[in-house]
């Protein structure tokens, strides 16, 4: 991407973040209202985006791409496991911080940030690929990551099956089934899904802006372990994905671009949810998530430039 396009992308993201930031600073929106918007995004808009993404022409190539993404994602999780062990030992993370690092490192925010951004940058085919990343991401989240966090908390709890079937996951299952069976939505449903999808990026950036307004920046200074986790999330992981896709596999397709960007996304909010659930320093998890979401406004456009 040309430098002018990079500046345009950064300006677009910052412009979309500002309304939420201003509204929250001026008291025009409350925390509960922000949560309501987040729930609408996760439970309505993201499922609509996913269903709409799968309304793409069936080809054998796309089916092959699905299995390629699954294999690549599994390999990246193994890479994450190695990084988790090495960095945790060097940085002397506590047991609780190891669990948080696992969640931050292994769970990019594909649903809340990734899907709206890929939709804005690459359209329908890009959405197809990020939707597959989303379901594979959630599978690892609700199995591997959940287990790691629970064990670092001194527990060995397993995720309940009903917690796995969130609206986005259900949408992926329905959408993929329709794709495989070559089922097309009737025009009125397809149009509704597309129009709902168009609100995704604006609302996601609005919520992100409102969250950034709550940050007390002094809280981040002096905590090197937060920076280590954020750098690993925003810089190290997309760099590794880039090396694998572009330098080793020589893959320059849209799949490659989406996959690298997927691993350059900020930490998922579920990192905080797990930290709160198992009481493993949720304040530290919040710092990691919020700082990564703030800095991604710079790192994501830079990633796009190199792709």
- CA-CA distance, 103 to 89, in Å (whole number)? 17
In 3D, which of 79, 60, 7, 115 has the Cα closest to residue 244?
Answer: 79
Question: What is the dihedral angle through the alpha carbons of 1, 297, 108, 279, rounded to the nearest 10 degrees?
Answer: 170
For position 151, what pLDDT does the model report? 83
pLDDT digit string, tens, across residues 184-200: 888 888 888 888 877 87
Lowest mean pLDDT among 93-102, 123-132, 147-156, 162-171: 162-171
Give the dihedral sign, CA 53/40/208/105: negative
Lowest mean pLDDT among 45-49, 134-138, 151-155, 212-216: 212-216
- CA-CA distance, 266 to 199, in Å (whole number)? 21
**Do residues 83 and 207 make contact, with C-beta atoms less than 8 angstroms apart?**
no
Mean confidence (pLDDT) of the chain: 82
Domains in the chain, please, with CATH? 3-306 (1.20.1530)
pTM of the model: 0.76
Q: Which residue has better confidence, 246 or 173?
A: 246
């Amino acid at each position: 991407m040309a430098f002018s396009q990079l500046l345009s992308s950064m300006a677009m993201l910052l412009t979309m973040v500002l309304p939420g930031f201003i509204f929250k600073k001026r008291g025009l929106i409350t925390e509960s209202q922000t949560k309501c918007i987040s729930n609408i995004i996760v439970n309505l808009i993201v499922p609509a985006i996913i269903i709409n993404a799968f309304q793409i022409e069936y080809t054998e190539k796309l089916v092959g791409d699905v299995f390629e993404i699954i294999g690549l994602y599994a390999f990246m999780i193994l890479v994450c496991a190695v990084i988790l062990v090495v960095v945790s030992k060097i940085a002397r993370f506590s047991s609780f911080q190891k669990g948080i690092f696992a969640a931050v490192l292994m769970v990019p925010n594909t649903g809340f940030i990734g899907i709206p951004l890929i939709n804005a940058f690459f359209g329908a085919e890009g959405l197809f690929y990020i939707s597959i990343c989303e379901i594979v991401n959630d599978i690892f989240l609700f199995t591997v990551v959940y287990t790691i966090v629970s064990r670092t908390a001194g527990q060995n709890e397993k995720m309940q099956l009903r917690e796995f079937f969130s609206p986005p996951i259900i949408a992926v299952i329905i959408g993929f089934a329709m794709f495989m069976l070559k089922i097309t939505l009737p025009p009125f449903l397809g149009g509704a899904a597309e129009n709902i999808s168009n609100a995704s990026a604006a609302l996601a950036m609005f919520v992100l802006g409102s969250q950034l307004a709550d940050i007390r920046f002094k809280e981040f200074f002096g905590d090197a372990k937060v920076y280590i986790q954020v750098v690993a999330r925003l810089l190290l992981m997309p760099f590794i994905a880039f090396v694998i896709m572009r330098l080793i596999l020589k893959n320059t397709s849209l799949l490659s671009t989406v996959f690298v960007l997927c691993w350059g996304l900020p930490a998922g909010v579920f990192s905080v949810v797990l930290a709160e659930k198992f009481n493993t320093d949720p304040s530290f998890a919040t710092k990691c998530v919020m700082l990564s979401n703030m800095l991604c406004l710079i790192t994501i456009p830079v990633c796009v430039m190199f792709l």
